[in-house]
A and B are shown apart, each in its own frame.
Chain A
């Protein structure tokens, strides 16, 4: 890629299948808009996969989902540029997600899954080509040996509920150490230290190799990023790259649209009925301590803006609390600016967007901070106490805590939403303001329902 000046250039590879293995960054010219847009499209695919996985979809459903997402987002109007888009977006996201362990792990997991789904739908011929390209080191079992083993291989196939071997069946002879997941379920025939791995089982090895190559690549990219690129590109690519990792791809909640503004007097009521736990916690802490540190003010302040609190009300709201602690004079001097700043009335005059779940989850609150995602940051006991205060029954509590244990914080929040509202939330919670709006929708529908019922009965 021309933009990444220091990346190695390689000669165009001949006859690449439609699925690249991303060995090294290609020498392509990329327009700056494409740089970002392609990356966002790929990110939609990866986030979609992530959502699907955390919902516990089965492997075959995931394979379909992955390929559907790919078709929906990664097409290019110029079909000859589809492969370019694929490769460019991959390498841009490498830059975006190389920068810390958590980002790397997320990217590694989902990019590997994506590769697996795409690999599985390739033809056997192109699968073979890909395996060669990725450096799959095991050779196929010869026909003679296969004949000797046939009875045992068939027996294994039947034992795991697979079809009998076809005449052109392809098996690889792999040291058993390389395929622990196939050994543990007795899913392969093993003889004298070698596992006889069928083509469809070899996918695990191939994706494992893809993953480890990518993992090494990410570490190298990170080194390059921190030593040279970040500084070199500080006016051009760096801002794009840094924004992309926390970018949120759902609807825009910066302007309250569907619901009228809320006023200060209603705020306590809606806080207890419709705020997600992260905001509720900040809100209660503010009422209790009459103070919040910067991270908390940003998280709650922008959320309230999205909810529909106008600037004047926001100033009055924050002042009412803060002045009890720091005095109204100090509030005007030190804190009012940043509130007006959030509303785009100071400084760069950008109308800031409320934080998405992804951004809140990835924040790292320090001592005295109250912001961040409670599902992630609270202790088990504190979280359970907070949830039961919100009205989550002990029956549903276990489900929520289960999701927390498996680090599916957004799903935990979604389950909480469903428990509190006694109503399903199919889209899942991706944004605190979405939580608020969905909650209001349900509550208002209930109000209208009960009034119509009343009207009918009278």
Chain B
């Protein structure tokens, strides 16, 4: 391979391939995606100022401690309508970013790392280490298509109300671990526009993590193991006891959601095909044979009962496993629940500093849905089917009573996007406040230092 080819390879790695390929056989095309509407969206609704403020992390003021080059060293990349891919775009101001997005009208905007030098001018710097990623948010990408073996309502890129709780679980589990275990506070959750969610951890400490540290955090969340056909275990929970972080997830999120929602919502024990998959995870033949016999035999009887058949069978299964003498059988209950609920991360996205991730407030070209922020405190209430779409936004603006208001400025305040911007600012305002404080502290420390060296 020539050096150039290697570089290209590396570039490709940063892109989420599955997002790239597109799905020609989409069954759930909600609406036609209209590039003209996208132009209109970028022209009148996209929140440039908020994105700029976020990506500047307080470096856009006139304070002497500001690093004015900070925003300009951030990589943006665009995918245009004709599949042209533009990497290493950079902007020196909010206005420049706005103009570029308006004129190019990208179908997708990705956000990359902050580099040591302006990424647009990367070729002007010689030397191996002159152009390296120095900062980026710690990010997570969770896709519903990775859950196809545990959901029966849809598959692939499709989602519905019945499987979306899996994403709610992911948000709850990861959000609480990030806050409780790692001590992060500035966390943004975003709907990816179709079948998943993205997470941006924006604390200064998170932005400065190196690749090894990012990989370690990704592994910390890595319980689900893919691709081992020979093992009946889908999850690896560690030694004879659960790690305290997993215990918390299990008790507060996984078990309640499994028993109160997914068990019946997905009818996990209703048919033979479905309950066999769960019985497979129990390594004790005598128990599985007993359960199988009962469930195959009394199918009709229990259907008379008012109780949901899934719940009845689950209680039966639990009592069998808990009454067993072997302690490790009780572990099976945990393993089943973890297999059916625990978040499944796209590890590659988290591990590399320079991996790209789609920007919030983009519009997904396949669904027309805006990638809106999700408030993790109320993530149960989030409905992916109800998010603003290009055409719904257009309609809202075109409605006569809204158009009575004059002046462009207020337009975005009059659409359903307004609610999403409020959620975004719930994240942004405290972030900017703490950026300001940190800057003040480090500036004062420096002042103090130079003063003391002067007195010397």
**Set of chain A residues within 8 Å of B244, measured between Cβ atoms:** 152, 155-156, 189
Contact A192–B219 (Cβ < 8 Å): no
B interface with A by C-beta (< 8 Å): 180-184, 205, 209, 212-213, 215-220, 238-247
Contact B240–A185 (Cβ < 8 Å): no
A183 to B216, CA, bound (A): 6
Contact A159–B183 (Cβ < 8 Å): no
**Set of chain B residues within 8 Å of A156, measured between Cβ atoms:** 243-244
A192 to B213, CA, bound (A): 16
A193 to B178, CA, bound (A): 9
**Set of chain A residues within 8 Å of B238, measured between Cβ atoms:** 159-160, 185-186
With contacts A158-B239, A186-B246, A192-B180 known, what are 14 further pairs, Cβ within 8 A? Answer: A152-B244, A156-B243, A161-B240, A176-B213, A181-B216, A183-B216, A184-B217, A185-B219, A186-B238, A186-B243, A191-B180, A191-B181, A192-B182, A194-B183
A193 to B217, CA, bound (A): 12
Contact A158–B241 (Cβ < 8 Å): yes
Given contacts A180-B215, A186-B220, contact A155 B241 (CB under 8 A): yes
Contact B239–A183 (Cβ < 8 Å): no
A194 to B216, CA, bound (A): 14
Contact A183–B240 (Cβ < 8 Å): no
A215 to B68, CA, bound (A): 35
Kindly provide the distance from the CB of B330 to the nearest chain A CB, expressed in whole angstroms: 14
Contact A183–B241 (Cβ < 8 Å): no
Other-chain residue from A181, A183, A185 in contact with B217 (beta carbon distance below 8 A): A183
**Set of chain B residues within 8 Å of A186, measured between Cβ atoms:** 220, 238, 243, 245-246
Contact A177–B205 (Cβ < 8 Å): yes
29 A-B residue pairs with CB within 8 Å: A152-B244, A155-B242, A155-B244, A158-B240, A158-B241, A159-B241, A161-B239, A176-B213, A177-B209, A180-B212, A180-B213, A180-B216, A184-B215, A184-B220, A185-B219, A185-B238, A186-B238, A189-B243, A189-B244, A190-B245, A191-B181, A191-B183, A192-B180, A192-B181, A192-B183, A193-B182, A193-B183, A193-B184, A194-B183
Contact B180–A159 (Cβ < 8 Å): no
A interface with B by C-beta (< 8 Å): 152, 155-156, 158-161, 176-177, 180-181, 183-186, 189-194
A159 to B331, CA, bound (A): 12
**Set of chain B residues within 8 Å of A191, measured between Cβ atoms:** 180-181, 183
Kindly provide the distance from the CB of A259 to the nearest chain B CB, expressed in whole angstroms: 46
**Set of chain A residues within 8 Å of B245, measured between Cβ atoms:** 186, 190
> 6 closest A-B pairs (Cβ-Cβ)?
A193-B183, A180-B216, A184-B219, A158-B241, A192-B183, A184-B216
**Set of chain A residues within 8 Å of B239, measured between Cβ atoms:** 158-161
Contact B243–A159 (Cβ < 8 Å): yes
A141 to B145, CA, bound (A): 44
**Set of chain A residues within 8 Å of B212, measured between Cβ atoms:** 180
Kindly provide the distance from the CB of B63 to the nearest chain A CB, expressed in whole angstroms: 26
**Set of chain B residues within 8 Å of A177, measured between Cβ atoms:** 205, 209, 213
Kindly provide the distance from the CB of B237 to the nearest chain A CB, expressed in whole angstroms: 8
**Set of chain A residues within 8 Å of B219, measured between Cβ atoms:** 183-185
Contact A155–B247 (Cβ < 8 Å): yes
A347 to B58, CA, bound (A): 74
**Set of chain A residues within 8 Å of B217, measured between Cβ atoms:** 183-184
Label chain B's interface by main secondary structure.
helix
Kindly provide the distance from the CB of A336 to the nearest chain B CB, expressed in whole angstroms: 44
Kindly provide the distance from the CB of A183 to the nearest chain B CB, expressed in whole angstroms: 4
**Set of chain B residues within 8 Å of A183, measured between Cβ atoms:** 213, 216-217, 219-220
**Set of chain A residues within 8 Å of B243, measured between Cβ atoms:** 155-156, 159, 186, 189
Contact B205–A193 (Cβ < 8 Å): yes
A155 to B5, CA, bound (A): 49
**Set of chain A residues within 8 Å of B216, measured between Cβ atoms:** 180-181, 183-184
Kindly provide the distance from the CB of B254 to the nearest chain A CB, expressed in whole angstroms: 16
**Set of chain A residues within 8 Å of B205, measured between Cβ atoms:** 177, 193
A31 to B65, CA, bound (A): 58
A156 to B246, CA, bound (A): 10
Contact A176–B241 (Cβ < 8 Å): no
**Set of chain A residues within 8 Å of B183, measured between Cβ atoms:** 191-194
A159 to B239, CA, bound (A): 5
Contact B240–A159 (Cβ < 8 Å): yes
**Set of chain B residues within 8 Å of A155, measured between Cβ atoms:** 241-244, 247
**Set of chain B residues within 8 Å of A190, measured between Cβ atoms:** 181-182, 245
Closest residue of chain B to A182, judged by CB?
Answer: B216
**Set of chain B residues within 8 Å of A161, measured between Cβ atoms:** 239-240
Kindly provide the distance from the CB of B214 to the nearest chain A CB, expressed in whole angstroms: 9
- Give the one of A156, A159, A193 with max B CB within 10 A: A159
**Set of chain A residues within 8 Å of B209, measured between Cβ atoms:** 177
A194 to B215, CA, bound (A): 17
Kindly provide the distance from the CB of A197 to the nearest chain B CB, expressed in whole angstroms: 14
A6 to B171, CA, bound (A): 61
Kindly provide the distance from the CB of A203 to the nearest chain B CB, expressed in whole angstroms: 18
Kindly provide the distance from the CB of B6 to the nearest chain A CB, expressed in whole angstroms: 16
Kindly provide the distance from the CB of B106 to the nearest chain A CB, expressed in whole angstroms: 35
**Set of chain B residues within 8 Å of A194, measured between Cβ atoms:** 183
A257 to B180, CA, bound (A): 70
**Set of chain A residues within 8 Å of B246, measured between Cβ atoms:** 186
**Set of chain A residues within 8 Å of B184, measured between Cβ atoms:** 193
Closest residue of chain B to A149, judged by CB?
Answer: B244
**Set of chain A residues within 8 Å of B240, measured between Cβ atoms:** 158-159, 161
A156 to B248, CA, bound (A): 13
- Give the one of A152, A184, A191 with max B CB within 10 A: A184
- Give the one of A186, A189, A190, A193 with max B CB within 10 A: A186
Kindly provide the distance from the CB of B246 to the nearest chain A CB, expressed in whole angstroms: 7
Kindly provide the distance from the CB of B129 to the nearest chain A CB, expressed in whole angstroms: 15
Closest residue of chain B to A180, judged by CB?
Answer: B216
Closest residue of chain A to B219, judged by CB?
Answer: A184
A152 to B244, CA, bound (A): 6
A191 to B213, CA, bound (A): 16
Kindly provide the distance from the CB of B190 to the nearest chain A CB, expressed in whole angstroms: 24
**Set of chain B residues within 8 Å of A159, measured between Cβ atoms:** 238-243
**Set of chain A residues within 8 Å of B215, measured between Cβ atoms:** 180, 184
**Set of chain B residues within 8 Å of A158, measured between Cβ atoms:** 239-241
A183 to B241, CA, bound (A): 17
Kindly provide the distance from the CB of A201 to the nearest chain B CB, expressed in whole angstroms: 14
**Set of chain B residues within 8 Å of A181, measured between Cβ atoms:** 216
**Set of chain A residues within 8 Å of B182, measured between Cβ atoms:** 176, 190, 192-193
A267 to B124, CA, bound (A): 59
Closest residue of chain A to B237, judged by CB?
Answer: A159
Kindly provide the distance from the CB of A371 to the nearest chain B CB, expressed in whole angstroms: 26
A156 to B220, CA, bound (A): 13
A194 to B205, CA, bound (A): 12
Kindly provide the distance from the CB of A101 to the nearest chain B CB, expressed in whole angstroms: 14
Kindly provide the distance from the CB of A156 to the nearest chain B CB, expressed in whole angstroms: 6
A159 to B237, CA, bound (A): 9
**Set of chain B residues within 8 Å of A189, measured between Cβ atoms:** 243-244
A377 to B118, CA, bound (A): 39
